[in-house]
Amino acid sequence: MSFEHLNLDASLLRAIESCGYTAPTEIQNKAIPLAIAGRDLMASAQTGTGKTAAFVLPALHRLINNPAKPGHGPRVLVLTPTRELATQVSEAIRDLGKFSRLRSGSIVGGTPYPPQIKMLRAPLDILVATPGRLIDHFSQGRIDFSRLEVLVLDEADRMLDMGFVDDVERIAAALPTDRQSLLFSATLEGEVRKVSQRLLKDPERIQINGVKDNHASITQHLHQADDLGHKHALIEHHLGQAEVSQAVIFTATKRAADELSRRLREQGHRSAALHGDMNQGARRRTVDQMRRGQCRVLVATDVAARGIDIKGISHVFNFDLPMSAEDYIHRIGRTGRGGASGIAVSLVGPQDWGKLAQIERLTGSPIVRQTVDGLEPRRPEPKPFDQRAKRRNGPPGGGKRRFGGGGSKPAGGGAGNPQIRSKRDGFAPKRRSA
Ligand code: AMP
């Protein structure tokens, strides 16, 4: 199927061509005709599948072809969980709407209010926003939603995970009831399903390839790590490999991101931290440095790195495993972008086997175990039984979508998985520092 078959406006086809897209992705093929027909949608599509264009293109098509009602408020509202994702969506709107003369703007937290207030006073076609700051403006009566035609909830599962459910429902309640609603989410079950029942009208469900297929271009490995010192030694080893052109390393906390980035800089790596304590300007500058290749290693937390779309990222490292299995999917999706292949390496500490079991269950396959000569783990991998006992006795996490639900079994490849030894010429084993 080509883009011509999707009956999109000619100005959009021109923009698609200038973006270099030759054929629609699966989610675009399925979602665009239904969205153009005016249907509400709930689509399960991960980042990296082309989901942004799957809602931006029909939204722009509608704006171009339908006359606007009187007023100056936005006709399309896209809600995203994070500022970075809002920026990515805004960039897609700019690129795909460049021949359409539509006005778009974004409202995100961590940036000054006055330019946003000024923007909301002028006529606007598309507004991309994070829920918290949007609610601020809405509560002050600064937004006119009377001519809103389309609501998009992007990465709805994350939005709910981050506690935005009340904000999202409050915003939706202020919108015209005859609007179209498009929901995109990694999962369509649980909270997402409940919220969609309240906010969507007879939605068409779209499920595209499973997670595993979406990440076919990403090779996944793991190393068993004894302790923090072992993790540092493994990271140092990997960053010493020429094949790592650019990397994102995920840590569990902002402090850990700062500390690891500082440590790597001291070792001579071009490294920077990216996390939610940094203001929007600093975050944008850091991402730009990465995009321009001035920075080789980005040490990031989950929220800050969400939505980052940089083609040069060859490797993702999980220095700490994420708090939810869905985050693992989002993390590794930072590599293997735009048709490239990528490598994701996870460091699994003694407390992490329960988290790993959840990840392997979600992805549907065991992650290949690897060792590095001279940096082998001191202990054998715990057997699945020990892992269950550890989870029963220990309290990792607790929330519904968090790890630690107990009773779960690794999807396979646990204790009996053959260890694949990395054969890397020229690697000299180093002493570990604690
Ligand atoms: P997304 O899933 O929206 O984050 O998109 C992932 C990447 O795919 C982005 O770099 C897009 O620019 C790119 N992309 C979107 N649609 C297409 C397409 N039809 N062909 C090639 N690349 C695309």
Residue 433 Cα to ligand 1 midpoint, Å, equals 42
Q: Is residue 139 part of a domain?
A: yes
Q: Is residue 134 part of a domain?
A: yes
pLDDT value at residue 411:
30
- Total number of domains in the chain: 2
Ranking 74-78, 301-305, 349-353 by mean pLDDT, the lowest is: 301-305
Q: Is 100 in the pocket of ligand 1 (CB under 6 A)?
A: no
Q: Is 408 in the pocket of ligand 1 (CB under 6 A)?
A: no
Looking at the structure, do residues 225 and 178 belong to the same domain, yes or no?
no
Q: Is 21 in the pocket of ligand 1 (CB under 6 A)?
A: yes
The reported pTM is 0.61
pLDDT value at residue 222:
97
Looking at the structure, do residues 312 and 334 belong to the same domain, yes or no?
yes
Taking all residues of the chain, what is their mean pLDDT, rounded to a whole number? 85
Looking at the structure, do residues 260 and 123 belong to the same domain, yes or no?
no
Q: Write out pLDDT tens, residues 84-143.
A: 899 999 999 999 999 998 999 999 998 999 999 999 999 999 999 999 999 999 999 999
Looking at the structure, do residues 157 and 300 belong to the same domain, yes or no?
no
Q: Write out pLDDT tens, residues 323-382.
A: 888 789 889 989 988 778 899 999 999 999 989 988 887 787 899 999 999 999 998 888
pLDDT value at residue 405:
31
Residue 189 Cα to ligand 1 midpoint, Å, equals 25
Residue nearest to atom 19 of ligand 1 (CA): 24
Q: Is residue 178 part of a domain?
A: yes
Q: Three-state SS string across the chain, please?
A: CCHHHHCCCHHHHHHHHHHCCCCCCHHHHHHHHHHHCCCCEEEECCCCCCHHHHHHHHHHHHHHHCCCCCCCCCCEEEECCCHHHHHHHHHHHHHHCCCCCCCEEEECCCCCHHHHHHHHHCCCCEEEECHHHHHHHHHCCCCCCCCCCEEEECCHHHHHHCCCHHHHHHHHHCCCCCCEEEEEECCCCCHHHHHHHHHCCCCEEEECCCHHHHCCCEEEEEEECCCHHHHHHHHHHHHCCCCCCCEEEECCCHHHHHHHHHHHHHCCCCEEEECCCCCHHHHHHHHHHHHCCCCCEEEECHHHHCCCCCCCCCEEEECCCCCCHHHHHHHHCCCCCCCCCEEEEEEECCCCHHHHHHHHHHHCCCCEEEEECCCCCCCCCCCHHHHHHHHHHCCCCCCCCCCCCCCCCCCCCCCCCCCEEECCCCCCCCCCCC
Domain boundary, last residue among 161, 185, 207: 207
pLDDT value at residue 392:
44
pLDDT value at residue 8:
97
Q: Is residue 304 part of a domain?
A: yes
Alpha-carbon gap, residue 4 to 402, rounded angstroms: 43
Looking at the structure, do residues 21 and 162 belong to the same domain, yes or no?
yes
Residue nearest to atom 21 of ligand 1 (CA): 21
Looking at the structure, do residues 132 and 189 belong to the same domain, yes or no?
yes
Looking at the structure, do residues 300 and 222 belong to the same domain, yes or no?
yes
Q: What's the rounded mean pLDDT across residues 9-34?
A: 93
Looking at the structure, do residues 290 and 154 belong to the same domain, yes or no?
no
Q: Is residue 409 part of a domain?
A: no
| pLDDT classification of 255: cutoffs 50, 70, 90 | very high
Looking at the structure, do residues 68 and 191 belong to the same domain, yes or no?
yes
Alpha-carbon gap, residue 121 to 236, rounded angstroms: 52
Looking at the structure, do residues 295 and 172 belong to the same domain, yes or no?
no
Domain boundary, last residue among 369, 390, 409: 369
Looking at the structure, do residues 203 and 318 belong to the same domain, yes or no?
no
Residue pair 321/313 in contact by the 8 Å Cβ criterion = no
Q: Write out pLDDT tens, residues 27-53.
A: 999 999 999 999 999 999 877 778 999
Looking at the structure, do residues 195 and 223 belong to the same domain, yes or no?
no
- What's the domain range around 35? 3-207
pLDDT value at residue 94:
96
Q: What atom of ligand 1 comes closest to residue 48's alpha carbon?
A: 2
Q: Is 46 in the pocket of ligand 1 (CB under 6 A)?
A: no
